[in-house]
Structure 1
Amino acid sequence: MFSGRPHRVSHPSHPSNKRIFMASIHWINERILRSHWNQAVLDLVQHLGPQNVFVGVLESGSWDNSKGALQELDAQLAQLNVAHSIILEDTTHEDEISRVPSPGEAGWIWTPREKKELRRIPYLANLRNKVMQETFKDTDQHFDKVLWLNDVMFTTEDVVTLLSANAGEYAAACSLDFSKPPRYYDTFALRDISGARALTQTWPYFLSHTFRHALISNKPVPIQSCWNGMVAINAEPFYASTPLRFRGIPDQLAELHLEASECCLVHADNPLSTAKGVFLTPNARVGYDAEAYSAVNSFISWSAPSQRIKGIWKL
């Protein structure tokens, strides 16, 4: 099993009675599914306990063999008696953007090209909600956390570190994701506690001294929103009488050239965000390939002093 993480003095633990809904959407991800992701999910399931998890995956019209890779995962989860749903759709994103929308259909706007075009964010929000529908199929199943996984390299230790952030007390907790280290990847969703975007994609990211101190100490960093490759969300709001859902901003605002990530809006809509907080977990770092993962997990303390001085000088 791949691991680019140094040994920790204390290994995080996860309560055996907590139930986790694992969710993911995939498109043209065969390579990482076969090389890493499928096995990482199986390792995680076995650690958490097959009876404690549900795996919900949606694949949407890939033109590689992502379907074949996920069919293999389907069979392996069945062998472990893991409750799961793997949805394989033939409709591609190209099919969706090429079709003619019905009159008044939400998620479509007139663009400067003088065409009515599909908005990406509501499209993704609908896919995420379709995966989340599996949560409510069986009223006897009650989950404590919803764990969303991108097409990233991760280990069981990364996930348990994330789930254990702030002693498990949070509205949501996110990892840090990297494609080309030292630059972090998810600039769209990450906002600090004041709602500000990061100043840089490298150290120190945000101007806040509190943010930097928590990052150096590998302590959970209070923020306003994030996704960053891997996010754990308290499941309670998804069971409310008006359940939490993913969404985009109204089409009328989008036509004014405004946009917001469904990964930001879910935190803004979550009633627990104010009460329990949203946290960035600096000791849970994921990568979009093996090189990126190894680079950001080759150390325990966050950022060498020389990098800190150089990064602050840039500001």
Structure 2
Amino acid sequence: MIIRPRVQRLLLSRLLKILLVLTLAWTAYEVWSIRHALAEQASKEPPPFGKQRIFIASIHWTDERILREYWVPAVLQLAQDIGRENVFVSVYESGSFDDTKGALQELEDHLARMGIDHKVVLDDTTHLNEVSRERAEVGWVQMPSTKTYRQNWTDWFSLQKDEWVPRRIPYLARLRNQVMEPLYEQQQLGNVYDKILWLNDVVFDTEDVQRLLGTRDGHYAAACALDFKRAPAFYDTFALRDAAGYAPLTDTWPFFRSAESRNAIVYGRPVPVASCWNGMVVFDAKPFYRIVDRLAFRGISDTLAASHLEGSECCLIHADNPLSHEKGVWVNPNVRVGYNGTAYHAVNDGHVWPSSYAIMTGVWQNRITRWLRVFSTPDRIVEGKLRAAEQWAPDTTEPDKFCLIDEMQILLWNGWGHA
């Protein structure tokens, strides 16, 4: 039986209309079910702090405005809500261009008056001091040739052939380890903490911290918030890796390539990930107290860095953490912080987040992006450079390569840059 072309076109048109109607119906049901699940998760009350002892840690550079407007008042309120017998605040600042020191000095004065244990270090060492000092044995890299490099994606700078410059990540790792030193000083005094809370210069409140600490009823190696600078775009793609070790697929919800991570965030549940930081992260403190192989921040080797590879110290800490495999690393999508008030309020406006429209567009954008990249291997450049480096330097290895990216980050007199 031969079907005429006109009839074929009519059948095809009807079939397409049916598929379109079914797709719209499925999408509507999907958005409704997701929004219902998100609303249910968001309605849960955050647990109280109880008697757990919390060590608060933070490093700062040239962020006076957000400190005065949001961060300092929030930390003071948080410390008071936790209870002075259960909290320690450790802060480090160096070489800021604005009056960050003044804002943190006010924090220290208030903490002292409140009787809250703390250590606030205001260091006069600048980035210029760091780049001008004599080269250290580790943490420096040699530039291959005279060329122009990007600095913070905006300005430009020049480096000479064979010039040695300090690397950004080992520098940050050193500062973070310095902020952790009071943890061990307190241990000598008989004060041991259950959780370590790292705070970036973000907008947050006490309830955000309560929700984060209560992630999976406290059963985790680490738990992170989501952070935003220009909402709805997610910010910390440098440290976040999904359960399969992939960087975020998109910078908008639901973010992830891994089905395990994506399915969790879609329904508002704690999201299993390989690593995260995201503006606010809480760790189980036990690995930081280990007598042997104490957990500490680090960078990748200078040999790998010379191959134009880098990895965030905020990702490597999870790769090194023995509890990561036992208890897991998690993102709590119901805790969202911002690097400014506008971003924070955009994702914490009292309504279910994200909106129905954002759910619809986000699900389909993520789905189509995955379809288009189904055969792609996003880390093939990194793997090639890693293999090449290991061939000519067999002692060079990075077993958990999910943190590695194709970048070189160096310290500059006025900040940092991509080389």
What does 1:12-161 correspond to in 2, within 5 Å? 12-102=46-136, 105-112=137-144, 113-138=161-186, 139=188, 140-161=190-211
* Maintained 8 Å contact 2:193/2:285: yes
Q: Which runs of 5+ in 2 are unaligned?
A: 1-41, 145-160, 370-419
1:196 aligns with 2:196: no
For 1:50-94, what per-residue CA distance to the aligned partner results, in whole angstroms no more than 9, with x for missing partners? 110000000011121111111111010011110000001000112
Whole-angstrom CA distance in 1 between matches of 2:263 and 2:244: 16
Give structure 1 stretches of 5+ with no counterpart: 1-7
Q: Partners of 1:206 and 1:194 in 2: how far apart?
A: 10
1:246 aligns with 2:297: yes
Q: Distance in 2 between matches of 1:109 and 1:60?
A: 22
Q: Assess if the C-alpha contact under 8 Å between 1:181 and 1:295 holds in 2.
A: yes
Question: TM-score, structure 2 length as denominator?
Answer: 0.71
The correspondence of residues 296-311 of structure 1 with structure 2, limited to 5 A, is 296-311=347-362
Q: Is the 8 A contact 1:21 1:135 kept in 2?
A: yes
Q: How far off is 1:172 after superposition?
A: 0.2
Residue-by-residue CA offset, 1:107-139 (whole Å, 9 max, x unaligned): 011122421110000000000000001100132
Q: Read off the aligned partner of 1:111 and give its amino acid letter.
A: M
Does the CA-based 8 Å contact 1:146-1:233 persist in structure 2?
A: yes
The structure 2 residue matched to 1:262, chosen from 291, 313, 316, is: 313
Q: Is the 8 A contact 1:224 1:267 kept in 2?
A: yes
- Structure with more helix by fraction: 2
Highest RCO, 1 vs 2 (Cα 8 Å, sep ≥ 6): 1
- CA distance, structure 1, for counterparts of residue 362 and residue 71 of structure 2: 33
Distance in 2 separating the partners of 1:95 and 1:14: 44
Q: Give the AA of the match of 1:177.
A: D
RMSD: 1.3
2:64 touches 2:103 (CA, 8 Å); kept in 1?
yes
How far apart are 1:10 and its partner, in Å? 4.1
- Which digits, 9 at most, give the CA deviation of each residue in 1:260-304, with x for residues without a partner? 000000000000000000000101100011110000112553323
**Equivalent AA in structure 1 for residue 346 of structure 2:** A
Query: Are the counterparts in 2 of residues 30 and 66 from structure 1 also a CA contact under 8 Å?
Result: yes
> 1:271 is matched with which residue?
322
Q: Are the counterparts in 1 of residues 95 and 123 from structure 2 also a CA contact under 8 Å?
A: yes
Aligned to 1:236, which of 286, 289, 298? 286
* Higher CA-based Rg: 2
Which residue number in structure 1 is paired with residue 219 of structure 2? Answer: 169
Residue 12 of structure 1, CA deviation: 1.0
Contact 1:238 1:245 (8 Å CA) reproduced: yes
TM-score under structure 1 length normalisation: 0.94
Aligned length: 306
Q: Which moved more, 1:292-301 or 1:64-73?
A: 292-301
* Aligned equivalents of 2:203, 2:49: Cα separation in 1: 24
